[in-house]
Structure 1
Amino acid sequence: MEELNGTMIFWLISIGMVAGALIKVSIWKQGVELIPNLIAGVIGAVVVGSIAIFINLPGSLVFGFLGSLVVLFILNVFYLQSDEDHA
């Protein structure tokens, strides 16, 4: 069984940062900037990955990646841009 240790937290943080960077590259000029994407990706991966470990689900890194994608999707979809950005 997986356990929440330093190595697992490192991998969850890494997965969240990769997901945040991929989202920023894929939506380029729209949405939130790079740093908020990275932070949101890390938060989503660590929270969902930790929950998956605590309830003994296999594949907590996959759940962490999916959790980061969900948080990043919500962050970027509901991001309000000013009217100047649309010109």
Structure 2
Amino acid sequence: MDKYLPIGSVVLLEGGTKRVMIYGRRQQELNTKKIWDYIACLYPEGNINEQYMYLFNHDQIEKIYFIGYQDEEEFEFLKENLAEKPV
């Protein structure tokens, strides 16, 4: 990958048994201030509550099941906001 996966992408994390759907990128963890590549929720359930939000980095993805929606706005966003850390 030469960029982040788009919003809506569905992946399986290493060691996981349930797929998750990406709904945010370059997320900062509140307690530690650590920056993560992605935040996701369970798929197909969606965002249930904060106990079911998953922060992870691209290298923790075991398998990509679906690549989310991409259009000109997505490409411009990547260029302006996420280009400094390709995955």
TM-score interval, smaller chain: under 0.3
Q: Normalising by the residue count of structure 1, what TM-score does the alignment of the two structures yield?
A: 0.22
Instruction: Flag the structure with higher helix content.
Output: 1
Bigger Rg, which one: 1
Bigger strand share: 2
* TM-score normalized by the length of structure 2: 0.22
